[in-house]
C-alpha cells in the first residue's frame, strides 16, 4: 500500500508541476480532446453520459445514504466514519483546488455537454476513487473466496477508469484534469485504507460475524437501490449536469453550427 501511495503522490506532484509550467503532459490535452471529437458516436455519447452521471453529486449523496444504512446495520462504525469523512474532505478539497488553479474547461464547441466552474482537478474522477474505491475496499474485505475478491476489485478498477474516461470523452475536462483527480484521490484513498488496516490490526476491532450469503445480500441490495436511483436520475428527471441527456439542445446546436466551423463537429457529435 505504501508503494501505491508513494506512486500516486509522485504522479500528482508531476501533473501539478506540468500544469503550472504549461509543459509535459499538458501538451497532450488539446490533441486528445480533438481525438475524442473524432471518435464520438451516438450510442457512445449516451453510454458516457450515463457513466458520468454515477459521480454526480446526487448519485454520490444517494450512494452515501445507502452505504451508511448498510454499514450502520452491520455495526461497522469505523468504516462508516471513514466513508463520511472521505466524502466531506473530497468536496472541500475539490472546491479549494478548483478556485486556486482557476483552469478553464475545454472549448464548449467541442463538448457533448456543457458544465460550469473550473476544470482542474476533475471532481467526478476524484469522487470516483474516494467513494466507489472505498466501497470496493469494503466489499473485498468481507468476501472470503479469492476469486470473489479479484472480481470485485476488477469491477471497481474498470468502473473508476471508465468514469474518468467519460469526462474526457464528453469534453468537459482535459486529460490532465482527470489524471490529477485520479492520482490525488488515490493518494488519499491509500491513506484512509492504511489507517483502517492499522486500526483493525493493532487496535480493538469491531467484530461482527458475516457469512458469504449476508455479504452478497448486502451487495445486491446496495446495487439494486443504487441502480434505481441512477435510473431515476437518467430517465425521469431529464436534466443532469445542466443538459438534457436524452435529446440534444437543438437550438443551441443549430446556433453553433451557423456561427463557427469548430461547432460543426459538436453538432454532429450530439445529434443522436
Range with lowest mean pLDDT among 5-9, 15-19, 33-37, 268-272: 268-272
Q: How far apart are CA 121 and CA 119, in angstroms?
A: 6
Q: What is the distance of C-alpha 240 from the center of its chain?
A: 15
> Which percentage of the chain shows pLDDT scores above 90?
12
Q: How much is the average pLDDT of 118-147? A: 86
Helix (H) or strand (E) holding 41: none
**pLDDT tier at 11, thresholds 50, 70, 90:** low
* pTM for the full predicted model: 0.75
pLDDT of residue 154: 92
Res 16 pLDDT > 70: no
pLDDT at site 259: 43
Q: How far apart are CA 82 and CA 133, in angstroms?
A: 12
- Tens of pLDDT, residues 161-219: 999 999 999 888 888 889 888 888 888 888 888 888 876 665 555 545 556 677 777 77
For residue 5, what pLDDT is reported?
A: 59
Is the pLDDT at 51 greater than 80? The verdict is yes
Q: Residue 64 pLDDT more than 90?
A: yes
Helix axes 2-21, 175-202, angle to 10 degrees: 150
Residue 12 in this model has a pLDDT that exceeds 70: no
Mean pLDDT of 12-19: 57
Catalytically active residues are 124, 173
- CA torsion sign for 101, 102, 107, 112 is positive
**Residue 261 predicted with pLDDT over 70:** no
Grid look-up 476469486 returns: 147
Give the model's pLDDT for residue 163.
93
**Which pLDDT score, from 0 to 100, does residue 19 have?**
55
Q: What pLDDT does 102 receive?
A: 79
Given a contact cutoff of 8 angstroms between Cβ atoms, the answer to whether 257 and 264 are in contact is yes
Average pLDDT in the 105-133 region?
84
- CA torsion 133-135-138-142 (nearest 10°) is -110
Q: Which of 156, 42, 171, 183 is nearest to 119 (CA)?
A: 171
25-45 burial by CB neighbour count: b if 16+ within 10 A, else e? bbeebeeebeebbeebeeeeb
Q: Kindly tell me if the per-residue pLDDT of 270 is higher than 70.
A: no
89-107: burial string, b at 16+ Cβ within 10 Å, e else: ebeebbeebbeebebebbe
Q: How confident is the model at residue 132 (pLDDT cuts 50, 70, 90)?
A: very high
Break the chain into its structural domains and give their ranges. 2-237
The per-residue pLDDT for 204 is 53
| Residues 166, 172, 174, 178, CA torsion sign | negative
Amino acid at each position: 500500500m505504501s508503494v501505491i501511495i508513494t506512486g500516486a503522490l509522485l504522479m500528482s506532484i508531476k501533473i501539478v508541476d506540468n500544469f503550472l509550467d504549461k509543459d509535459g503532459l499538458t501538451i497532450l490535452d488539446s490533441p486528445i480532446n480533438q481525438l475524442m471529437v473524432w471518435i464520438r458516436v451516438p450510442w457512445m455519447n449516451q453510454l458516457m453520459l450515463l457513466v458520468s452521471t454515477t459521480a454526480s453529486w446526487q448519485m454520490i449523496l444517494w450512494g452515501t445514504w445507502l452505504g451508511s444504512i448498510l454499514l450502520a446495520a452491520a455495526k461497522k462504525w469505523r468504516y462508516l466514519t471513514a466513508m463520511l469523512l472521505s466524502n466531506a474532505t473530497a468536496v472541500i478539497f475539490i472546491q479549494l483546488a478548483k478556485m486556486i488553479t482557476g483552469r478553464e474547461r475545454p472549448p464548449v464547441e467541442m463538448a457533448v455537454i456543457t458544465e460550469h466552474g473550473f476544470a482542474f482537478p476533475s471532481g467526478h474522477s476524484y469522487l470516483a476513487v474516494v467513494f466507489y474505491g472505498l466501497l470496493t475496499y469494503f466489499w473485498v474485505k468481507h468476501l472470503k473466496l479469492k476469486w470473489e475478491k479479484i472480481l470485485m476489485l476488477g469491477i471497481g478498477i474498470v468502473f473508476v477508469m471508465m468514469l474518468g474516461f467519460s469526462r474526457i470523452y464528453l469534453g468537459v475536462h482535459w486529460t490532465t484534469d482527470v489524471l490529477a483527480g485520479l492520482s490525488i484521490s488515490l493518494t488519499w484513498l491509500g491513506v484512509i485504507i492504511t489507517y483502517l488496516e492499522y486500526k483493525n490490526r493493532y487496535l480493538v476491532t469491531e467484530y461482527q460475524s458475516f457469512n458469504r450469503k449476508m455479504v452478497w445480500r448486502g451487495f445486491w441490495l446496495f446495487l439494486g437501490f443504487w441502480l434505481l436511483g441512477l435510473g431515476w436520475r437518467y430517465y425521469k428527471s431529464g436534466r443532469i449536469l445542466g443538459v438534457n441527456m436524452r435529446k440534444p439542445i437543438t437550438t443551441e446546436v443549430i446556433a453553433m453550427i451557423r456561427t463557427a466551423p469548430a461547432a460543426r463537429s459538436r453538432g454532429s457529435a450530439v445529434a443522436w
